Amino acid sequence: MSFWSGQQYQSPGGFDPQLPRTLFLLLLSVASARGVTQNPKDCVAFQSEKGSSISCHPPAELPSSLPADTFHLVLELFNLTQLPPDILKGASKLQELHLSSNRLESLAAEFLLPAPQLRVLDLTRNALTRLPPGLFQASAALETVVLKENQLEVLEASWLHGLKALGFLDLSGNRLRKLPAGLLANFTLLRTLDLGGNQLETLPPDLLRGPLRLQRLHLEGNRLQVLGKELLEPQPDLRYLFLNDNKLAKVAAGAFRGLRQLDMLDLSNNSLASVPEGLWAPLAQPGRDMQDGFDISGNPWICDQKLNDLYRWLEATKDKMFSQNATRCAGPEAVKGQTLLAVAGSQ
Ligand SMILES: *[C@@H]1O[C@H](CO)[C@@H](O)[C@H](O)[C@H]1NC(C)=O
Ligand SMILES: *[C@@H]1O[C@H](CO)[C@@H](O)[C@H](O)[C@H]1NC(C)=O
Ligand SMILES: *[C@@H]1O[C@H](CO)[C@@H](O)[C@H](O)[C@H]1NC(C)=O
Ligand SMILES: *[C@@H]1O[C@H](CO)[C@@H](O)[C@H](O)[C@H]1NC(C)=O
């Protein structure tokens, strides 16, 4: 949904991939305003009290070695299918590594060993189909892992072993069909999980056991048909829940039972004709009033008395409801085409 797209990286403790580049362009324009000329074959380097920040984009050449104080490295848009071995050699202070928009097909298991202080790894838009087991064996400080828009069809729990500080995991835009049970069991600090835009038909019911305080869950754009009652239960602090653009036809009665803090719920563009009584009761409690809104549009609602509970809830929370005009009844015949709110108001 467009009204909150782009918020994806704005979560607390999240990660904004645009920021370093914006900063870099700003600094670059300051540099050129001062008449500093730049050889296009060179990477751009900046010094700060934190160390060296190195940015390389074509037509620059890849650096053959890095300053020992490099804390931020960008190697983007090179279409590399392999990274040069030893590319991180000597960069023991490295904290952020941005490798997006290459064509990396695989990574060496030893690749991250020289950079034990790494906090951010961005591999957006590459061609990875797997990760080598052991990749993160020295990555205990790594907080943000972005694997968005790669070609992962499966993910094995062992590929992520070694991550101890993981707070943000983005696996969106891959081809994941299923996930292993226990995948997140060790990631107690995880705050944001993005699985949007994959091909998931089901999820292991225990998927969210492990993280202690998940805040943001993206499951939009998959093929989910059922939301069971166990999935969300371990995450009472969840604030943003994206389930839109799936094939959900069934939501279990207790599915939202444990949610005490939800600020935003997107169930739009699914196959919901009805929902069980009591589903909504835990949401929008006084004091926690779904402040960023909810969307249940684009579903084939059958507006009979089985939705009475939903009508009551809508009456109470309609000022938080998005896409009101697109939230319509598909039946029964007498009310077909009417908005749910109109039907709710006439009850
Ligand atoms: C990378 O590939 C794209 C698309 O084929 C092309 O437009 C671009 O020039 C390539 N970049 C380099 C550095 O080869
Ligand atoms: C959790 O971590 C332990 C110790 O590192 C490891 O043995 C176990 O396999 C991990 N579990 C999962 C599901 O990754
Ligand atoms: C609904 O979701 C499907 C599946 O993700 C998507 O292809 C389609 O564009 C969505 N339709 C609308 C109107 O958003
Ligand atoms: C509501 O949607 C209908 C079509 O579904 C459209 O004709 C109408 O203009 C919309 N009204 C508003 C206020 O957006």
Which protein residue's CA is at the shortest distance from atom 14 of ligand 2? 157
Cβ 186 under 6 angstroms from ligand 2: yes
Q: What is the 3-state secondary structure (H, E, C) of 224-288?
A: CCEECCCCCCCCCCCCEEECCCCCCCEECCCCCCCCCCCCEEECCCCCCCCCCCCCCCCCCECCE
pLDDT in tens, 33-44: 343 456 778 899
pLDDT in tens, 88-123: 999 999 999 999 999 999 999 999 999 999 999 999
pLDDT in tens, 151-170: 999 999 999 999 999 999 99
**b/e 38-58 (16+ beta carbons within 10 angstroms → b):** eeeeebbebeeeebbbbbbbe
Cβ 297 under 6 angstroms from ligand 3: no
pLDDT score, position 290: 83
> What is d(CA 275, CA 347) in angstroms, rounded to the nearest whole number?
17
What's the 299 CA to ligand 4 centre distance in angstroms? 16
Which protein residue's CA is at the shortest distance from atom 8 of ligand 3? 245
Which protein residue's CA is at the shortest distance from atom 11 of ligand 3? 269
Cβ 85 under 6 angstroms from ligand 2: no
Taking residues 201-219, report their average pLDDT: 96
As given in the structure block, the two tokens for residue 259 are 């949610």
59 Cα nearest atom in ligand 1:
13
Helix (H), strand (E) counts: the chain:
3, 16
Could you give phi then psi for residue 270, rounded to 5 degrees? -125, -160
Give pTM, 2 decimals: 0.89
In this model, does residue 299 exceed pLDDT 80? yes
In this model, does residue 19 exceed pLDDT 90? no
Cβ 182 under 6 angstroms from ligand 2: yes
Cβ 269 under 6 angstroms from ligand 3: yes
Name the β-bridge partners of 216: 192, 240
Name which of 304, 302, 258 is nearest 279 in CA terms.
Answer: 258
Cβ 332 under 6 angstroms from ligand 1: no
Three-state secondary structure call for residue 312: helix
Taking residues 320-331, report their average pLDDT: 97
Phi-psi region of 6 (alpha: psi -120 to 50; beta: other; left: phi over 0): left
In this model, does residue 30 exceed pLDDT 70? no
Taking residues 285-300, report their average pLDDT: 85
Cβ 81 under 6 angstroms from ligand 1: no
Asked if 10 and 16 count as a contact pair (C-beta separation under 8 A), the reply is yes
Q: Which residue has the tokens 């890095």?
A: 66
Element (H, E) at 73: strand 70-75
Residue with the bigger pLDDT between 278 and 275: it is: 275
CA R_g for the chain: 23
Name which of 231, 201, 202 is nearest 217 in CA terms.
Answer: 231
